[in-house]
Amino acid sequence: MILFIEDEGYYNDPYKESLQDAGYKVILVRNINEAINIFSKRLAEIQLVILDIMFEIPDDPPLGFDVENALNGTRSGIEVLRLLNEVPKGTDVPKIILTNVAEERFHLEYQHSNSVKGCYKKKDVNLAKLVEIVNEIIKGK
**Alpha carbon distance 96, 109 (integer Å):** 13
H or E, element range at 68: none
In a domain, 98, yes or no: yes
Per-residue pLDDT of the chain (141 residues; tens, 9 = 90+): 999 998 777 667 888 999 999 999 999 998 888 889 999 999 999 999 998 877 766 666 666 666 665 555 556 777 788 889 889 998 899 999 888 765 555 555 555 456 888 888 888 889 999 999 999 999 885
In a domain, 68, yes or no: yes
92: domain CATH number?
3.40.50.2300
Residue 93: left (phi > 0), alpha (psi -120 to 50), or beta?
beta
In a domain, 55, yes or no: yes
In a domain, 133, yes or no: no
In a domain, 64, yes or no: yes
Q: What is the pLDDT of residue 116?
A: 85
**Alpha carbon distance 25, 43 (integer Å):** 14
**Alpha carbon distance 48, 126 (integer Å):** 18
In a domain, 140, yes or no: no
Q: Where are the beta strands (DSSP E) in the chain?
A: 2-5, 26-29, 48-51, 95-99, 116-121
Q: What is the pLDDT of residue 121?
A: 81
pTM of the model: 0.83
Determine the structural domain holding residue 32 and report its residue range.
Answer: 2-126
In a domain, 59, yes or no: yes
In a domain, 31, yes or no: yes
User: How many separate domains does the chain show?
Assistant: 1
* CA proximity to 34, closest of 48, 16, 55, 15: 55
Cα 64 from chain centroid?
A: 18
